[in-house]
Amino acid sequence: MEPMTTTGVDLPDDAVDADDWFEVPDELHYYYSYSYGGVSRFFREIVDNQRLTVTRCELCDRGYCPPRRDCPRCWERTTWQPHPGTGTVVAPVYCYWTQINSPVRRYVQPPFVYALVRLDGMTNALHTLIHTDDLRVNRTVRVGTRVEVRFREQRRGTLADVYFVPVEQP
Ligand SMILES: [Zn+2]
């Protein structure tokens, strides 16, 4: 019999024949923590102070939210700035259904409006939820709608800690 290998380790010739292996499907659950590294301040300000902070490159003046520790254009270290949390919807998505086991259901139940929002003065855009009572397509949320940030009462350091609401237009 040829030696069997698992992950590159040779097993002895008298190891159990693969045909005799009995396998049982099972599940593993891991609990762990991870660091946001150079953008930790963004989440800490949301959790502790209900404030939005963004980063800006002093060399090319591009602003980033989601923040970037280093400017992806010129690789300069960015600096932190407070932001009032106002912006414009770039691309809304109206979601009326998700799979019953979809991970998104940990954060929100359909129907909901999900959107890319470009905060004022920023180069990139943030994926976020837009809260509105009128969930009909393009009624209160559409490309160009002005929005402002809100903070959830319970915050745990994820982008789901914030959402946006349409700003009443004069
Ligand atoms: Zn730059």
Answer whether residue 32 is part of any domain: no
Instruction: For residue 64, report the distance from its CA to the centre of ligand 1, in Å.
Output: 10
Answer whether residue 27 is part of any domain: no
Answer whether residue 30 is part of any domain: no
Instruction: For residue 89, report the distance from its CA to the centre of ligand 1, in Å.
Output: 24
Residue 40 backbone class (left: φ over 0; alpha: ψ -120 to 50; beta: rest): alpha
Number of H helices, E strands in the chain: 1, 10
Tally of domains within the chain: 1
Answer whether residue 162 is part of any domain: yes
Residue 63: give the domain boundaries: 37-166
Q: Which residues surround ligand 1, an ion (CB under 5 A)?
A: 57, 59-60, 71, 73-74
Answer whether residue 12 is part of any domain: no
Q: Give dist(CA 102, CA 113) in Å, integer.
A: 16
Answer whether residue 97 is part of any domain: yes
Instruction: For residue 169, report the distance from its CA to the centre of ligand 1, in Å.
Output: 33
Answer whether residue 139 is part of any domain: yes
Instruction: For residue 80, report the distance from its CA to the centre of ligand 1, in Å.
Output: 13
Instruction: For residue 67, report the distance from its CA to the centre of ligand 1, in Å.
Output: 13
Answer whether residue 24 is part of any domain: no
Q: Give dist(CA 108, CA 53) in Å, integer.
A: 24
* pLDDT values of the chain reduced to their tens digit, one per residue, 170 residues: 555 555 666 766 666 676 777 889 999 999 999 899 999 999 999 999 999 999 999 999 999 999 999 999 999 999 999 999 999 999 999 999 999 999 889 888 999 999 999 999 999 999 999 999 998 888 899 999 999 999 999 999 999 999 999 997 65
pLDDT digits (tens, 9 = 90+) for 41-84: 999 999 999 999 999 999 999 999 999 999 999 999 999 999 99
Instruction: For residue 83, report the distance from its CA to the centre of ligand 1, in Å.
Output: 18
0.85 exceeded by the pTM?
Answer: no
Residue 115: the pLDDT is 97
